[in-house]
Amino acid sequence: MSAFQEILNQFILSKDQVQKIVDGMVEEFVEGLSTTDPKDITQQPSFIIRLPTGQEAGTNLRTAAVHLLGDGKVGITMEKHEITQELKTGTGEAMFDWIADCTASLLETIAVDMGNADPHMGVTFSFALQ
C-alpha cells in the first residue's frame, strides 16, 4: 500500500462512524435549541420555508480585520461589497468564489500592516431569524 493510500484510508468512515457523528450533532443541536444558559452555546431557531429567490434583504458583504491591540483595545479595518443581483440568483459556487475574492482583497489591504504575520481567521454568516 502506498503512503498516499495509507493517509487516505485514515479519512474513510464507515456507515456506523458517520451515523455516530450525525447522532452527536443532532444531540448538540437539540441541546443548543433548548438552553438559555449563557455558559452554553445556544442556537436561535431559523425557519427556511422556501428556496432563495434573490429578493432577500441582504445587500452587502462586509469583510473585517480585527487587530487585537492589548489592554482591551482593538483596531478594525472593514470593507463593504455590494452583492449583485447576478450573485444573489447565481450558483453557490459563484457566490463563495466572490466571497473568497473579497476576503483576499481585505487581506491585501491589511498585508502592509501585518508583515509576515499568520492571521487567524473566522467566518460568520448572519441571517434573519423567524
- Ordered DSSP codes for 43-90: -------S---S-SS--EEEEEEEEEEETTEEEEEEEEEE--HHHHHS
**CB contact at 8 A, 99 and 92:** no
For the chain, what percentages of helix, strand and coil (3-state, to nearest 5) are there?
40, 15, 40
- Mode of pairing for the β-strands spanning 60-70 and 73-82: antiparallel
**CB contact at 8 A, 81 and 61:** yes
Domain definitions of the chain by residue range: 1-46, 60-114
Query: Would you give per-residue pLDDT tens digits along the chain (130 residues)?
Result: 888 888 888 889 999 999 999 999 888 888 877 877 766 666 666 666 777 676 666 778 888 888 888 898 888 888 999 988 898 888 889 988 999 999 888 888 887 666 666 777 777 766 544 3
Structure pTM? 0.52
